[in-house]
């Protein structure tokens, strides 16, 4: 299965009473898919999965799965445990619940910093028993574990590992090396919204982008422009979307994005769950203005 284009890691909307607003989540899922997103990511970091109960996580996955099935889109689901055994159990449960999922998004082991060899061994063990293909989520500023180009190539060679969500804070040498000679069948998807344009220019397959909630069609247009070789259109649109992406991350994700979605009337509240706090008014207004300006 090919992973290409823009994937939206869904926020989890909350109602005024604090419950998950599943009706708003369903509407949002259909909106971004109708705007051209290749698929949805349920229970990614943007969805605040650590703050959800097990029942809430299951409900979120069910809504996303139904939306993807209705639109013929790809479903990716976050599945990470505290160690290899717990992650394997989470993958088994996920495969039983949504066997139609295109992949599971699995974070590089966090906090323990097992080294590159340990990280490769972790994914090799997971892939051997996983009912779903694996997308490696490489985000060292959250996990504490750096990976070299050589280690990423080792991961790409594992049967069942189909790609990487690459989020290292910017465009670095490792990304450039990997994109210069990307292993066959291994999708490089950026997770750094503000660096989508240069990553696409270097050959990235697409991105998993929280800010794509706010202008899904424009992000899709950008990806298509680079893939078509329309450099002038891609460069101009890329500059504008970079500004929106930076504004969307002016407070810890997904606070600004939720604030804008609420201001647009697309979710019932801007609420996040502790330890996150809602974004400030100025941050939300700045991002909302940039999103609105993209329609002109």
pLDDT, tens digit, 9 for 90 and up, residues 237-275: 999 999 999 999 999 999 999 999 999 999 999 999 999
Average of pLDDT values for 184-191? 97
* pLDDT exceeds 90 at position 295: no
Token pair belonging to 155:
């991961």
Task: Kindly name the residue from 7, 165, 166, 258 that is annotated as catalytic.
Answer: 165
Interhelix angle 149-156/115-129, rounded to 10 degrees, is 10
- Tell me the per-residue pLDDT of 13-43, one tens digit each, with 9 for 90 and over: 999 999 999 999 999 999 999 999 999 999 9
What CATH number is associated with residue 98? 3.20.20.70
Position 22 scores a pLDDT of 98
Judge whether 27 counts as a catalytic residue: no
How many residues are recorded in the chain? 296
Report the C-alpha gap between 42 and 234 in whole angstroms.
28
Asked if residue 272 is part of any domain, the answer here is no
Q: Are 281 and 248 in contact (CB under 8 A)?
A: no
Q: Is residue 255 part of a domain?
A: no
Q: Is residue 156 part of a domain?
A: yes
Kindly report whether the peptide bond that precedes residue 23 is cis, defined as omega within 30 degrees of 0: no
**Cα within 13 Å of Cα(256), Cβ side:** 24
Known catalytic residue at 258: no
Each residue's pLDDT tens digit, 145-174: 999 999 999 999 999 999 999 999 999 999
The domain tally of the chain equals 1
In a domain, 286, yes or no: no
The verdict on residue 186 lying in a domain is yes
Whether 64 is in a domain gets the answer yes
- Domain span at residue 76 reads 5-230
Structural domain includes residue 56: yes
pTM (predicted TM-score): 0.97
Share of the chain above pLDDT 90, in %: 97
Q: What is the pLDDT of residues 126-139, one digit of tens each?
A: 999 999 999 999 99
Token pair belonging to 128: 């051997």
111: left (phi over 0), alpha (psi -120 to 50) or beta: left
Q: What is the pLDDT of residue 1?
A: 82
Active-site residue among 137, 141, 166, 258? 137
Q: Is residue 257 part of a domain?
A: no
Q: With 60 as the cut, is the pLDDT of residue 296 above it? A: no
Quote the DSSP letter at residue 295.
T
pLDDT at 162: 98
pLDDT at 192 over 60: yes
């Amino acid at each position: 299965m090919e992973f290409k284009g823009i994937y939206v890691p869904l926020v989890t909307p909350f109602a005024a009473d604090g419950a998950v607003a599943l009706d708003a989540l369903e509407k949002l899922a259909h909106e971004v898919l109708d705007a051209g997103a290749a698929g949805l990511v349920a229970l990614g970091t943007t969805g605040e999965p650590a703050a959800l109960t097990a029942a809430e996580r299951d409900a979120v996955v069910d809504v996303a799965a139904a939306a993807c099935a209705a639109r013929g889109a790809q479903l990716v689901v976050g599945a990470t445990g505290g160690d290899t055994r717990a992650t394997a159990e989470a993958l088994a449960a996920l495969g039983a619940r949504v066997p139609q999922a295109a992949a599971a998004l699995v974070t590089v082991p966090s906090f323990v910093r097992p080294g590159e060899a340990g990280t490769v061994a972790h994914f090799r063990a997971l892939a051997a028993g996983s009912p779903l293909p694996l997308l490696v989520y490489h985000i060292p500023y959250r996990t504490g574990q750096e990976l070299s180009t050589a280690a990423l190539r080792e991961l790409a060679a594992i049967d069942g590992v189909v790609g990487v969500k690459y989020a290292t804070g910017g465009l670095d040498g490792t990304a450039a090396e990997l994109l210069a000679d990307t292993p066959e069948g291994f999708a490089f998807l950026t997770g750094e919204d503000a660096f989508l344009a240069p990553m696409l220019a270097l050959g990235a397959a697409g991105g998993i982008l929280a800010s794509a909630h706010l202008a899904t069609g424009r992000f899709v247009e950008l990806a298509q422009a680079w893939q078509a070789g329309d450099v002038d259109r891609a460069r101009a649109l890329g500059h504008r979307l970079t500004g929106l992406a930076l504004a969307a991350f002016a407070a810890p994700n997904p606070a600004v994005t939720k604030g804008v979605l609420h201001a647009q009337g697309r979710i019932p509240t801007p609420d996040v769950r502790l330890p996150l706090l809602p974004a400030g008014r100025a941050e939300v207004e700045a991002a909302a203005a940039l999103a609105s300006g993209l329609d002109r």
